[in-house]
Amino acid sequence: MQIPKDARRQARELFESALDDSGRPDASKALSIADLLIKSAPRHSLQILKEYTKLIRLELEKHRALIESAVPVDESTRASVLKSLEKRDGGAVSLETKVDPSLIGGSRIRLGSEVWDATVISRLNALVS
């Protein structure tokens, strides 16, 4: 089911009002806006709420990073990567690490939709392709 244009516009306006001065979602604003939307129940409120939460989720994902590596990442490397990502992103980044032995070696870093892949398995796959 396609969302009506007016509902999409309203969701975008609500999303923009939930941003703080740095242009990132403010959790308390986002929750109070969603609460007000539910209580007021305007026309197409379910579609507006779905679109609004999608916009918030996508914006939060832009500032979430994941380091995948074959072995655990030491704290100094983690701090160095975090500093580089925050410089690139222009603000705070939440960082998560994940150990995946199937990568064989190297690491893969994701920040939002960007991916930097320097794993051995990706290089082997590139040779086979």
Q: Which tens digits make up the pLDDT trace of 28-38?
A: 999 999 999 99
Looking at residue 6, its pLDDT comes to: 94
Residue with the two structure tokens 């604003």: 29
Indicate yes or no: pTM above 0.85: no
Looking at residue 91, its pLDDT comes to: 86
Rounded-to-integer distance, Cα 119 and Cα 62, Å:
22
Strand runs labelled E in 1-129? 64-69, 94-99, 107-111, 114-117
Mean pLDDT of 62-83: 96
Mean pLDDT of 49-72: 95
Q: Do 21 and 64 touch, CB atoms closer than 8 A?
A: no
Looking at residue 1, its pLDDT comes to: 62
Identify any residues that bridge with 65 across adjacent strands, giving them in sequence order. 95, 111
Mean pLDDT of the chain: 94
Q: Do 47 and 3 touch, CB atoms closer than 8 A?
A: yes
pLDDT in tens, 89-113: 888 899 999 999 999 999 999 999 8
